[in-house]
Amino acid sequence: MESSLIELLVLAGIAVFLILRLKSVLGTREGFEKTSVEPSETRPVTRNFEVIEGQPDPDIVHYVVENSDEAKALAEMKRTESSFSVAEFVQGARGAYEMILMSFETGELDGIKPFLADDIFQSFVDAVAAREDQGLRIEAEFIGMRETHVVGATFDAETGLAEITLKFVAELTSVVLDQNGETVEGDPKAVKRQKDTWTFAREMGRDDPNWQLVATDA
């Protein structure tokens, strides 16, 4: 009897040890939490690409066709500014897209002004003002990014001006409400797909690392 009790105590001790070990590795979830990356989303990973003499640059050909005009423009950007990485740019552009899109949806534009060309910022201000004049507001939630593609790139060697155009496909919920909180358009539970083509620009070689949104084509 005493031997059986000792065995049970030993097994119980082993079980407690295993539970604590799993919690330290897996962490603990309480209730429902959204995953930081949607199942359909592939988050870009910044890599230290090594370019072999005479071989295509993997940091470029991962995003555009080898020897295309876009590839040549991206290569010129990298030659002008050695720290420039296409992978890092795309990752930053994805974050900028979410920030700018949601700021426009909610009408909170002050925080994104440094990232917009003057004419783009003014068009956003006018659109938000027109919405407010009608007593309308938008409630929106960004669900996740589905796709990001580099669809254009140009570089002016004389001015150092670089422009990169990306196509974004994202998912979000959005509903338009009137001043009484009644739904005018949309469904807060319906996930919609948002497609945009945006162009970002920057003068390479300058201390300011920020790119600006200079054109939009939804």
Q: What is the pLDDT of residue 25?
A: 27
pTM: 0.74
Q: What's the CA gap between 102 and 91, in Å, rounded?
A: 17
Is pLDDT of 45 > 60?
A: no
Listed residue (194, 200, 171, 193) closest to 91, CA to CA? 200
Q: Considering just the CA atoms, what is the radius of gyration of the chain in Å?
A: 25
Tell me the residue length of the chain: 218
Note whether 48 and 168 are within 8 A (CB).
no
Listed residue (96, 194, 186) closest to 138, CA to CA? 186
The percentage of residues in the chain with a pLDDT greater than 70, rounded to a whole number, is 75
Q: What is the pLDDT of residue 51?
A: 54
User: Whole-number mean pLDDT of the chain?
Assistant: 81
Is pLDDT of 95 > 90?
A: yes
Q: What's the CA gap between 101 and 104, in Å, rounded?
A: 5
Average the pLDDT over 29-55 and give the result.
Answer: 42
Note whether 197 and 169 are within 8 A (CB).
no
Note whether 55 and 67 are within 8 A (CB).
no
**Encoded amino acid at 134, one letter:** Q
Average the pLDDT over 27-48 and give the result.
Answer: 36
Average the pLDDT over 104-114 and give the result.
Answer: 94
Average the pLDDT over 45-62 and give the result.
Answer: 70
